[in-house]
Amino acid sequence: MADFFASNGSDLLLKTWEHLYISVFALMLGVIVAVPLGIVLTRFKRTSSIVMGLATILQTVPSLALLALMIPIFGIGKLPAIIALFIYSLLPILRNTYIGIQGVDAGLKDAGKGMGMTDMELIRLVELPQAAPVIMSGIRLSGVYVIAWATLASYIGAGGLGDFIFNGLNLFIPELIIGGTIPVTLLALFADFLLGKLEKKLTPANA
């Protein structure tokens, strides 16, 4: 492995940056879309089952097939990879947001309404803080998934640590496979650790 780092050190840094860029961008898009959508769905119960069903169907599409489907629309490179990973990140965040908001104590919501809170104030000051641990657990799960799945982005020219893994498989060089796999694992563990810290920070003291 010392030889691997000596000959691939700078390339490893570049591939790690590409992997992080793709993963973080996709996860941020997932949070931006899924959290508000999950909140809205708690207000429209009939629509929620349809949207959840659609998200579940998208989640069952094989990752390589979804990446391949992106190529005719967006070409190759980072953009189709980010969009595909964004789609994969949606379900855990959406489902946990919906469950978390639904699980907020009705008494707390009634108390907020009794104090004259608007619906937006109720969401911001009561529901989101109480649902934060459940929502964050969905984001943590999506974060780990996205970092792992980002290795497949190499197949459509998006770069990342998957380049090492698939080059190693094609050329039968174990050092390349290990050199790509270990950083992906460490990135996933580190992301889970950071998001876990954020989850604790957002969890209300009385939760």
pLDDT value of residue 141:
93
Q: What is the CA radius of gyration of the chain?
A: 20
pLDDT in tens, 67-119: 888 888 888 889 999 999 999 899 899 999 999 999 888 888 888 888 888 88
Residue that has been written with the tokens 């197949």 in this structure: 155
How many whole angstroms separate alpha carbon 22 and alpha carbon 153?
9
CA distance 62 to 105: 38
Q: What percent of the chain has pLDDT over 70?
A: 95
Residue 54 has pLDDT above 90, yes or no: no
Sign of CA dihedral 65, 69, 72, 76: negative
Residue 27 class from Cβ within 10 Å (0-12 exposed, 13-18 middle, 19+ buried)? buried
pLDDT one-digit tens code per residue, 159-178: 899 999 998 888 888 888 89
Domain ranges in the chain? Answer: 22-148+181-202
Residue type, 103: G
User: Residue 123 has which token pair?
Assistant: 């969401």
Give me the residue label for tokens 């992080």.
Answer: 20
Lookup result for tokens 């959508």: 37
What confidence tens digit (pLDDT) does each residue in 117-142 have? Answer: 888 888 888 899 899 999 999 999 99
The mean pLDDT of the chain is 88
Query: Does the domain at residues 22-148+181-202 carry the CATH identifier 1.10.3720.10?
Result: yes
Q: Quick one: pLDDT at residue 32? A: 96
Q: Is the pLDDT of residue 28 over 90?
A: yes
pTM of the predicted model, to two decimals?
Answer: 0.89
Q: Does residue 2 have a pLDDT over 70?
A: no
CA–CA distance, 148 with 181 (Å, rounded to integer): 9
